[in-house]
């Protein structure tokens, strides 16, 4: 695994470390080693607040919010990493960044919540990989103070629209149900927002709620979800959340595949074919280096051909844009940002990189 070259120079590939063995630090090498153990089974979702050998597990807002308020009263800084669980080294790099920002005396909170409102009706919400036992072990090892694992009834009391409200214009709520959403109206329109129409409404809503519950000073998000990070920054500024948003680099497997919980779906040859996203980014980088400015239409067509030369791969979108505003670029140059989404078999993968 290595950090995305757009953020950091390629690091030496570090040797694999047996889980639980002491870390060896090496200049220039990333020190994140984790191999998922496929035999790990999930444990029951905790229905109460418990301690798991050093990591406090909290599943109720009534416990989490007053604890965060107490921390703040006593001058402790709070670092927060929101996740959907099934943690991997990419998530853990964000945890380390959060710890770095709040220091030893600060508190690091990781939330693990598969948020139903950010999944479309035909998406993989019920199948999304969950492995709380493994997650808690990793959080304990990473020195996390609290894992916040709320259930749906806690986050969406009264339930959410059963049709998952595909269209915001046509809401059909249960009158007693949850009915307040946060919507970013500009950056959310393209790319993931175009392919998954209600996705970002779910993301901004859950992140706003989590900010109000965890009360972080600093929240760390991954560059892996570039558009998401841009939207969260926008929402934080627009709604005046007193939270410093940090974006950590994408962590990759040795062959360039961006780490993702969904990589667990990739069996057999699909895992090899999935590297085509990284190969597409590299191909675009080479094209831009060679000819300084390349018409986006031409580059898109070439990349589609490359991607779909893999038998199970189908391009959803590839876009070139200005990295902060996400404005589309018709001519692709050095410094342009590229994002793409590709179905590999039934698994939809996303990736991005600076060209
Ligand atoms: P998720 O659990 O997929 O919702 O991701 C939780 C956070 O981890 C998000 O901010 C993601 O952008 C970030 N993340 C996911 N994959 C990676 C990765 N490979 N490297 C760094 N951050 C990541």
Segment 123-177, tens digit of pLDDT: 989 999 999 999 999 999 999 999 999 999 999 998 886 544 445 555 555 667 8
The pLDDT of residue 25: 36
Strand bridging mode 313-321 / 337-344: antiparallel
Give Cα separations from 175 to 117, 158, 188 (angstroms): 17, 9, 28
- Distance from the Cα of residue 121 to its chain's centroid: 20
CA distance 316 to 190: 12
Known active-site residue 91: yes
Determine the atom of ligand 1 nearest the C-alpha atom of 222: 12
Which of 219, 225, 352 to mutate to test ligand 1, by most ligand atoms within 8 A of the CB atom?
225
Spacing, Cα 227 to ligand 1 middle (Å): 12
| DSSP letter string, 152-163 | HHHHSTT---TT
Spacing, Cα 91 to ligand 1 middle (Å): 5
Determine the atom of ligand 1 nearest the C-alpha atom of 249: 21
In this prediction, residues 328-355 reach a mean pLDDT of 97
Q: Range(s) for CATH 3.40.50.620 in the chain?
A: 34-249
Q: Tell me, using a 6 A CB cutoff, whether residue 98 lines ligand 1.
A: no
Q: Range(s) for CATH 3.30.1300.10 in the chain?
A: 261-354
CATH topology of domain 261-354: 3.30.1300
Spacing, Cα 301 to ligand 1 middle (Å): 29
Other beta carbons within 10 angstroms of residue 330's beta carbon come to 9
DSSP-derived 3-state class of residue 159: coil
* pTM, 2 dp: 0.86
Domain 34-249: homologous superfamily in CATH: HUPs (3.40.50.620)
Q: What are phi and psi of 139, to 5 degrees?
A: -65, -40
Determine the atom of ligand 1 nearest the C-alpha atom of 262: 3
| First-to-last C-alpha distance (Å) of the chain | 20
Tell the residue number behind the tokens 């590297």, with chain if given.
275
The pLDDT of residue 169: 55
The pLDDT of residue 23: 43
């Amino acid at each position: 695994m290595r950090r995305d070259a757009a953020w950091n120079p390629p690091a030496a590939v570090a040797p694999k470390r047996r889980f639980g063995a002491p870390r060896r630090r090496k200049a220039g090498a990333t020190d994140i080693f984790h191999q998922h153990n496929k035999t790990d089974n999930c444990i029951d979702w905790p229905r109460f607040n418990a301690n798991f050998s050093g990591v406090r597990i909290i599943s109720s807002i009534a416990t989490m919010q007053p604890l965060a308020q107490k921390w703040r009263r006593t001058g402790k800084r709070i670092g927060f990493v929101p996740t959907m669980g099934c943690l991997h080294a990419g998530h853990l790099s964000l945890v380390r960044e959060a710890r770095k920002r709040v220091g030893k005396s600060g508190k690091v909170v990781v939330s693990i919540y598969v948020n139903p409102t950010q999944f479309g009706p035909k998406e993989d919400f019920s199948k999304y990989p969950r492995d709380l036992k493994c997650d808690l072990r990793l959080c304990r090892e990473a020195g996390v103070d609290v894992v916040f694992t709320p259930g749906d009834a806690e986050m969406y009391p009264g339930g959410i629209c059963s049709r998952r409200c595909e269209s915001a214009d046509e809401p059909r709520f249960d009158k007693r149900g949850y009915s307040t959403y946060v919507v970013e109206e500009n950056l959310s329109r393209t790319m993931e927002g175009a392919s998954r129409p209600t996705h970002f409404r779910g993301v901004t809503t859950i992140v706003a709620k989590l900010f109000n519950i965890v009360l972080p000073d600093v929240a760390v998000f991954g560059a892996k979800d570039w558009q998401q990070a841009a939207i969260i920054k926008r929402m934080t500024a627009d709604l005046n959340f007193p939270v410093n948003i940090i974006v950590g680099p994408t962590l990759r497997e040795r062959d360039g595949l961006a780490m993702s919980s969904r990589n667990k779906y990739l069996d057999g040859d699909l895992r090899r074919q999935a590297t085509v996203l990284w190969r597409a980014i590299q191909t675009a980088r080479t094209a831009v280096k060679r000819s300084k400015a390349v018409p986006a239409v031409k580059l898109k067509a070439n990349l589609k051909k490359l991607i779909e030369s893999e038998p199970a791969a189908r391009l959803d979108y590839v876009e070139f844009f200005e990295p902060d505003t996400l404005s589309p670029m018709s001519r692709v140059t050095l410094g342009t940002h590229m994002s793409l989404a590709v179905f590999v078999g039934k698994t939809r993968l996303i990736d991005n990189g600076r060209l």
